Amino acid sequence: MEIAKSWAGKKVLKSPFVVQLLIIMYLVEFVKGALLVSILPVYMGTVLGLSVYAVGWALALQYIGDNAFRSPLGWIIDRIGYRYVMLFGVLLTFISVAIISLSSGHVFWIILACLLLGIGTSPLWPCVITGATAVAGNEASGTIMSVVYMAWLTGVGCGPIVINFFIAHSFHPAFRLLIGMMSVVVVVALFLPGRRKSHEIEGRAAPEATAELKEKQLLGMADRTRRYLAKVRSSLHASKLLYPAMFMQNFALGLLTPILTLYARTVLHLTPQQYSLYLIAGGAVTVLGLIPVGKWVDRFGTKWFLHVGFITAAISLPTLGYTRMLPLVLIIVAFVGAGYAFIIPAWNTLIAQAIPKSERGAVWGFFLTIEGLGMVFGSIMSGKLWDKLGPHSPFLLSGIVMLLLFVLHLFITRRSEVVVR
């Protein structure tokens, strides 16, 4: 069994298709992280003079655009394959970066670009998660989740870190770098598999070859939608408590995304270079922990890794919000990174186990939409908490949500054990 899992993990990492997906994931998240964490919050707050609440709303529009299309795009992936779905997204992302770089600071264009950025990145997670888990299978689900999230975290982390060295005097060099990276992404997306090859990768017959599709073509759209949803619902293996847990997990993250840079610059008074070092401290701990934790999850299951991760995050996040001593902040950031190193592969393996193979893209899109809603509401509430209660309040609420997640996970695992018995 262990040999089979090891072989499956190596097979996944050598797949050209998975490598393409990981390259796209890294570059898109690099661009997105640079914009959302380093460029837009500072630009909108200092240059345009918007409140933190307004900045949170603008960034929430990005998550709204992302969320609105995740479920339908997941369904479309199952039907037409990866290439055209991903091309639709990366081209819109390219346009959004171009709009920001050419907008001359006009608020309308910045908001439009945020919305287009969200719509453009909406196919990213359904495509990457669906494709990677299809290649990995159940034997290496924890390993592939670790690799995917390593690409995501590395991109999200490197984006703000690297871009800080480009915006010291002007934003123009930064925008040239981001546009160049998106050009590479468009080229890579052109070589993704089309419909027939996508179905071969997923190990199922092409839709036109099935009698089921011929029957569906005779039905109305409403009947097709009802039958599809009923099929997905009947094949899910998820506890109902998993749905609020998915929302809460990303709500806690959404509370921090709009204010991290502002907190570092205005409360801790870090320079862009110092802020980059702190991001490296937290991100490196998370990234270095993902692969071993992913392998342990495949071997031992998700339960105790999530318990440890939720408790670690629940304690370290509020502590971070109240700490002003920079050496101590560095240590706490490392604990936050360790907590997420336990949470990320275990949490997504737990979700992957609930998803049926036949409708993997659509269900991943549905689940990612629930998670994305947490990011939307977290981003909006984050700015309001900052303006009304102070900079520490988003960190405090994020820690409380993590503690609630720990309690909710106790019920999820207990109910699962009862079902197994």
Reply yes or no on whether the pLDDT at 421 is more than 50: no
Q: What is the pLDDT of residue 315?
A: 95
pLDDT band at 311, cuts 50/70/90? Answer: very high
**HSE-up of residue 73 (Cα within 13 Å, Cβ side):** 30
Reply yes or no on whether the pLDDT at 216 is more than 60: no
86-100, 177-191, 256-270, 384-398: least confident range:
256-270
Q: Among residues 164, 159, 172, which one has the least CA distance to residue 121?
A: 159
Distance CA 135, CA 11 (A): 8
Q: Among residues 57, 73, 71, 61, which one has the least CA distance to residue 115?
A: 61
Q: What is the pLDDT of residue 339?
A: 92
Q: Are 31 and 182 in contact (CB under 8 A)?
A: yes
213-222, 223-232, 332-341, 365-374: least confident range:
213-222
DSSP 329-385: HHHHHHHHHHHHHHHHHHHHHHHHTTS-GGGHHHHHHHHHHHHHHHHHHHHHHHHHH
Reply yes or no on whether the pLDDT at 236 is more than 70: no
Maximum average pLDDT range among 137-146, 296-305, 308-317, 369-378: 308-317
Q: What is the pLDDT of residue 212?
A: 52
pLDDT band at 8, cuts 50/70/90? Answer: very low
Reply yes or no on whether the pLDDT at 361 is more than 70: no
Reply yes or no on whether the pLDDT at 244 is more than 70: yes
Distance CA 178, CA 34 (A): 8
Inter-CA distances, 30 with 34, 44, 324, Å? 6, 20, 28
How confident is the prediction for the chain on average, in pLDDT? 78
Reply yes or no on whether the pLDDT at 223 is more than 70: no
Place of tokens 């990174």: 337
34-43, 298-307, 355-364: least confident range:
355-364
Q: Are 348 and 118 in contact (CB under 8 A)?
A: no
Q: What is the pLDDT of residue 357?
A: 62
Q: What is the pLDDT of residue 198?
A: 65
Average pLDDT of span 10-35: 83
Q: What is the pLDDT of residue 416?
A: 56
Instruction: Count CB neighbours of 205 within 10 A.
Output: 12
**HSE-up of residue 384 (Cα within 13 Å, Cβ side):** 9
Reply yes or no on whether the pLDDT at 242 is more than 90: no
Helix (H) or strand (E) holding 265: none
Q: pLDDT digit string (tens) for 54-75?
A: 777 777 788 778 777 776 776 6
Reply yes or no on whether the pLDDT at 92 is more than 90: yes
Q: What is the pLDDT of residue 63?
A: 76
Stronger pLDDT, 396 or 240, i.e. the higher one: 396
- How large a percentage of the chain has pLDDT more than 90? 17
Inter-CA distances, 39 with 73, 104, 158, 166, Å? 28, 14, 13, 10
Q: pLDDT digit string (tens) for 388-409?
A: 888 899 999 999 999 999 999 8
Q: What is the pLDDT of residue 203?
A: 57
pLDDT band at 2, cuts 50/70/90? Answer: very low
Stronger pLDDT, 333 or 67, i.e. the higher one: 333
Instruction: Count CB neighbours of 7 within 10 A.
Output: 12
Return the domain boundaries, the chain.
Answer: 2-204+234-420
Maximum average pLDDT range among 16-20, 181-185, 365-369: 181-185
Average pLDDT of span 324-328: 88
DSSP 76-99: HHHHH-SHHHHHHHHHHHHHHHHH
Q: pLDDT digit string (tens) for 157-204?
A: 788 888 877 776 677 888 889 999 999 999 999 988 877 776 666 555
Helix (H) or strand (E) holding 256: none
Rounded to the nearest 10°, the torsion over CA 240, 245, 248, 252 is -170
Average pLDDT of span 99-125: 82
Reply yes or no on whether the pLDDT at 82 is more than 90: no
Q: What are phi and psi of 369, to 5 degrees?
A: -65, -45
Question: CA angle, corner 36, sides to 32 and 39, nearest 5?
Answer: 105
Domain boundaries 2-204+234-420, corresponding CATH code: 1.20.1250.20
Distance CA 366, CA 75 (A): 9
pLDDT band at 142, cuts 50/70/90? Answer: low
Q: What is the pLDDT of residue 28?
A: 93
Write down the H helix ranges in 15-140.
16-33, 40-42, 52-80, 83-102, 107-121, 124-136
Distance of CA 298 to the CA centre of its chain: 21
Q: What is the pLDDT of residue 406?
A: 93
